[in-house]
Amino acid sequence: MIRDITVMGGHGRLGRPDLVRKIQFNMGDVISIVGPTGSGKTTLINDIELFANGNTPSGRQVLFNGVPAPIEYRDDPSRNPIALITQHTTFLSDMPVDAFLTTHAKVRGGNPEDITRLAQEAIDFANELTGEPLAAESRMTELSGGQTRALLIADAAIICSTPIVLLDEVENAGIHRTRAIELLRRYRKIFVFVTHDPRIALLSDARIVMKGGRIMDFIVTDEHERAFSIKVARLDDALASLRDQLRNGLRLCGTELEGVR
Amino acid sequence: MKLVICAGPATTGKTSVLRHAARKLLEQGKQVAFFKLDVQFAEEDEELARELGIPTRKVYSGELCPDHCGVMVLGDAMEWAEREGAKVLLVETAGLCLRCSPYVDHGLGVVVLEATSGMNLPLKIGPMLSLADVAVVTKVDRVSQAEREVFRARIMDVAPDVTIREVNALHGIGIDPLVDRILATPDAELPMQLRGNPPVGTCTICVGKKDIGWQAHFGVVRTLENQVFYRGE
Ligand SMILES: Nc1nc2c(ncn2[C@@H]2O[C@H](COP(=O)(O)OP(=O)(O)OP(=O)(O)O)[C@@H](O)[C@H]2O)c(=O)[nH]1
Ligand SMILES: Nc1ncnc2c1ncn2[C@@H]1O[C@H](COP(=O)(O)OP(=O)(O)OP(=O)(O)O)[C@@H](O)[C@H]1O
Ligand SMILES: [Mg+2]
Ligand SMILES: [Mg+2]
Ligand SMILES: [Zn+2]
């Protein structure tokens, strides 16, 4: 059982040390990682996913319940406590979606009787996030960028079903990101979101600030931020509604912006 | 001396993997020599000699299949590496022939596959995979975690006893366990034998008979209807 993970600071791109030397994530925490493009956000979640132990370019160390990851985490995907949803928006595997999901469910130690049901659940989950639904028999390589991200999120939630989920820029592919986070947060896990989005950052208990490959700061979301996060959500919903109208070929009239201040 | 024979399709990252492994071996004070076996063009020997200052050599197999050529020259290569004072000889081979495999009964056999190659590759390379000790999967930075894990499953379907090591060979991430495995391998010594069985007999094409159609040949012939699926040993 994983109770917590700890990132012990290493160094940034030019060898200068991470300013925050130790960050602990407890079960149930939602943490964001923010910072300019190229600042090392992806590198930090990759360190977690690789069970870094001073052997990645950042020199960081990641501890699980206070100790380095046991070898099974790395060698047996069914024991791996982490699901990572990468920034990739294309698949390279030339397989049908359902074959891919059932194979992955097997690898992740899914119960043989459950595998077909799990694959179908994952497809249904993905289709809650996409505009145009994807079909079980579509080839993975044919999926759009948004469908790819949606399927990866569904795969992480349903097929991997791990205690730790790392999500790299959910906002990036035009999927329903608030819906995605809503669905994910039904499960009690450690969530780490790399994001540029104020709404997602304010949903989090705290955020890690990156720059030049270094961990610069750890900011706990305070009362004041929580209070106005409601307003941010309203503004974001208004924009989302405009986005939907645009996608559906409507002319925009802007009424939803009237109440927003 | 430890012997590592590393095979894999073109541009999968064999040199990148061996470069990181060599660097880590040198850091541990092990003298390394590098030997490249290719069909007609290779510059790894010059690159690695320049970058790491280690003894390197290459041989072109030319009109021979590289695995066939390997059988001919590996003994000489081991003697050369011993004379150079190497404690580990890293051999990189194109291993183009998917019927044979270059591994020998001594030393470590390593196949390098790329995660970006499509899910059927493990099914296509026969004994190059099934007779290896370790399958290194490179370019994991280019695919999602889910694809990486499904690729692992495809390898395990074909070669359940092969140890799988996923790496990012650009940054050398994941190379340490491979280095540990190299160091844990017993020393290789001549005489050695190929692990796999070479193809049956000599064919008439090998001796220069170019006519198309089995009717024009004798010895080992095959018709279209007579197909066997070869999985390696
Ligand atoms: N992104 C990424 N690129 C890689 C990785 N490994 C190798 N490459 C790139 O793939 C290309 C081929 O790598 P090499 O190491 O030369 O491959 P090789 O198998 O030795 O190739 P040949 O000897 O020519 O058959 C180079 O451009 C490498 O930088 C990896 O793990 N990730
Ligand atoms: N601690 C580090 N040590 C060495 N290299 C690093 C470190 N952090 C980041 N880098 C390198 O910097 C580059 C950019 O990092 P990364 O991709 O993590 O940025 P990012 O914040 O995710 O950017 P984006 O917002 O564009 O996705 C990469 O090539 C990465 O390898
Ligand atoms: Mg990134
Ligand atoms: Mg090479
Ligand atoms: Zn051959």
Q: State yes or no: pLDDT of B231 exceeds 70.
A: no
Each residue's pLDDT tens digit, B74-106: 999 999 999 999 999 999 997 767 777 889 999
Mean pLDDT of chain B: 89
Out of A75, A88, A95, whose CB is closest to B144? A88
Look at residue B98 in the predicted model and tell me its pLDDT. 72
Q: What is the DSSP letter of B141?
A: G
Structure tokens of A181? 């986070």
Please tell me the least confidently modeled range out of A214-218, A250-254, A256-260: A256-260
Each residue's pLDDT tens digit, A98-117: 999 999 999 998 888 999 99
Mean pLDDT of chain A: 91
The helix/strand/coil state of A118 is helix
Q: Which residue has the higher pLDDT, A242 or A18?
A: A18
Find out whether B131 and B109 touch, Cβ atoms under 8 Å.
yes
Look at residue A131 in the predicted model and tell me its pLDDT. 82
* Residue B11, ligand 1, Cβ within 6 A: yes
Q: What is the DSSP letter of B105?
A: S
Write down the pTM of the prediction.
0.90
Structure tokens of A131? 């505009």
Query: Which atom of ligand 2 is closest in space to residue A213's alpha carbon?
Result: 8
Structure tokens of B205? 């094409």
- Domains of chain B: which residue ranges? 2-184, 200-233
Task: Give the span between the Cα atoms of A73 and A75, in whole angstroms.
Answer: 6
- The question of ipTM being above 0.95 is answered as no
Q: Which residue has the higher pLDDT, B5 or A240?
A: B5
Find out whether A55 and B27 touch, Cβ atoms under 8 Å.
no
- The superfamily (CATH) of domain A1-81+162-221 is P-loop containing nucleotide triphosphate hydrolases (3.40.50.300)
Cβ-defined contact of A50 to B142 (cutoff 8 Å): no
Please tell me the least confidently modeled range out of A4-18, A188-202, B47-61, B191-205: B191-205
> H or E segment at B156?
helix B145-158
Other C-beta atoms lying within 10 Å of the C-beta of residue B83: 10
Confidence of residue A186 (pLDDT cuts 50, 70, 90): confident
Residues 6+ apart with CB under 8 A from A94: A139, A140, A141, B118, B119, B120
Find out whether A218 and A208 touch, Cβ atoms under 8 Å.
yes
- CATH for B2-184, options being 3.30.360.10, 3.40.50.2300, 3.40.50.300, 3.40.50.720: 3.40.50.300
> H or E segment at A46?
helix A41-49
Q: Which of A183, A196, A178, A194 is nearest to A239 (CA)?
A: A178
Task: Give the span between the Cα atoms of A145 and A147, in whole angstroms.
Answer: 6
Q: What is the DSSP letter of B198?
A: P
- CA-nearest residue for atom 18, ligand 2, is A40
Work out the minimum CA distance from A104 to partner chain B, whole angstroms. 6
Look at residue B232 in the predicted model and tell me its pLDDT. 57
Cβ-defined contact of A57 to B147 (cutoff 8 Å): no
